Structure 1
């Protein structure tokens, strides 16, 4: 699956996925704009690096809508929603959200984009409980590769990344 992150405004972005099931979906606007590391880009890094198949991007690759994506090649309808809805709240989704928050916060602390007040440190420590610090460093390093590319984009510019093929190929599959 090809996933494109596009800067659509000064403080807005969209995420488009060209899925192996043959259609395209988008979240526009996508949540959590950040000038250096938008929230959904952090999710992508976390889920890809950890092989989370039931987070946002694994759900999309599996034919779902991840709760926020809409079709680009056909009108949104109840039929489309029934065909593309997958359960939200699976363990991978919760893990992805927790780690995305932790990794984005750690990236901001590394680059002094967020003050390291006792409250911020406690918030990060809470999310880091039970997480290998080396893993966090590895994920922040990956963001360090992508952040300059994202930050340099002008409105209309984009970054396209590849998501691995789903574990269960074929349209209309369910778990």
Structure 2
């Protein structure tokens, strides 16, 4: 999947997503007051930390958020149902992706990576009981990568990223409906 994050009219940003199935979607952001695009923080954080069930892994799997707009391509006949199942299944991982990305975003936005590990650990603890799976060094590397891409974004007004196929969220199978039929008659 190809992700292009670019400045939009009005000062915010938009992430244009080109999925392998040929569907192209726009994901608008409401981040006018930030130097670091919110969706760039998500994409970098989720990719670098292997979060397949976050925002962009969910989109790669067929998830469509309510604020997204179809630009081109033809969605599957069952796209809405698949998206609904996927987003419901990924509710907690999407929450984790939000708090972890927010901590990384804050570190780069304010040029203060000092507390990123503690902030991520606290956010992780809201959703999970097991220990945070990432080390301070791993999170520092994500901060460095986002800072590097932010410099590129500031210079050119856009950043293009390739989302790895391995980080595509799986779509849960539909619930099996029990067939109701006629019982044998005599």
State TM-score, norm by structure 2. 0.70
Alignment of 1:117-128 (within 5 A): 125-128=118-121
| Alpha-carbon RMSD | 3.3
Q: Which has the higher contact order (CA 8 A, sep 6+)?
A: 1
Rate the CA distance shift 1:48–1:67 in 2: closer, same or farther, 3 A: farther
CA distance in 1, matches of 2:159, 2:42: 15
Q: Which runs of 5+ in 2 are unaligned?
A: 123-131, 173-186
What is the correspondence of 1:23-102 to structure 2 with a 5 Å cutoff? 23-28=23-28, 30-33=29-32, 35-73=34-72, 81-85=80-84, 86-88=86-88, 89-102=90-103
Q: How far apart are the structure 1 equivalents of 2:61 and 2:166?
A: 6
Residue 107 of structure 1 is matched in structure 2 by 108
User: Is the partner of 2:72 in helix, strand or coil?
Assistant: coil
**Distance in 1, Cα, partners of 2:94 & 2:32:** 20
Q: For structure 1, list consecutive stretches of 5 or more residues without a partner in the other structure.
A: none
Contact 1:6 1:158 in 2 (8 A): yes
Is 1:137 the counterpart of 2:137? The answer is no
| CA spacing shift, 1:40–1:33, aligned 2, 3 Å | farther
* Number of residue-to-residue matches in the alignment: 159
C-alpha change, 1:31 and 1:91, in structure 2 (3 Å) is same
User: Structure 1 residues 13 and 142, CA, compared in 2 at 3 Å: closer, same or farther?
Assistant: same
Distance in 1 (alpha carbons) for counterparts of 2:54 and 2:104? 16
- Normalized against structure 1, the TM-score is what? 0.74
Q: Which has the larger radius of gyration?
A: 2
Alignment correspondent of 2:159: 159
